[in-house]
Amino acid sequence: GSQKVIVFKEVPQLGSLEITKDSSNYSLTDNNKDCYSLEGTVFTVTHKQTGKKYTLTTNIKVDDGSATVKYKGVLKDIPVGEYTIKEKQAGKGYVLSTKATNVTIVGNKTSKVTIKNEPDNDPVIILVNKTDKNGKPLAGAEFTIKFYKGYFTEQEIISGKAESAFKR
């Protein structure tokens, strides 16, 4: 006289994604946090099969002893499958990457990806003309150009405040 009903429910497999941002040029970015930061890099992560989009922001500091501080972001409990990662917003001082990265999310695991960014080195073109008070060119003038790691006003450089940041 009794009936047993059994219901099967398919539980979707879930995994996680961890993206770590790194610099591609340590000579510019090492110990130069005033000009460069990988914190706040924003990615769009798109599931290839469903088209569902997720946003991931690198806001977790990675303490690996590196002179350039890396940051990571994590997406937890996302469906397994193939994903495409595209950078939507670069960190301070870095060039926005146009490269897409593919990753496979596996159930109950964290897929880890490290993406390196090119620092924007803000190339400067300098044209210097030395002239007399009448505007006539003066030959043989010499100039010194200095590179400081950080942003400094002319007054800070003249006062000597920037000397500790003098690099080359």
Q: Per residue in 98-149, pLDDT tens? A: 999 999 999 999 999 999 999 987 656 677 888 889 989 888 888 887 777 7
* Contacts with 127 (C-beta within 8 Å, 6 or more apart), sequence order: none
Three-state DSSP state, 159: helix
User: Which contiguous run of DSSP H or E holds residue 26?
Assistant: helix 26-29
Residue the block writes with tokens 């007054």: 155
Tens of pLDDT, residues 11-22: 779 999 999 999
Residue 81 — very low, low, confident or very high, per pLDDT cuts 50/70/90?
A: very high
Q: pTM score > 0.85 for this model?
A: no
Decide: residue 56, CB within 10 A, 0-12 exposed, 13-18 middle, 19+ buried: buried
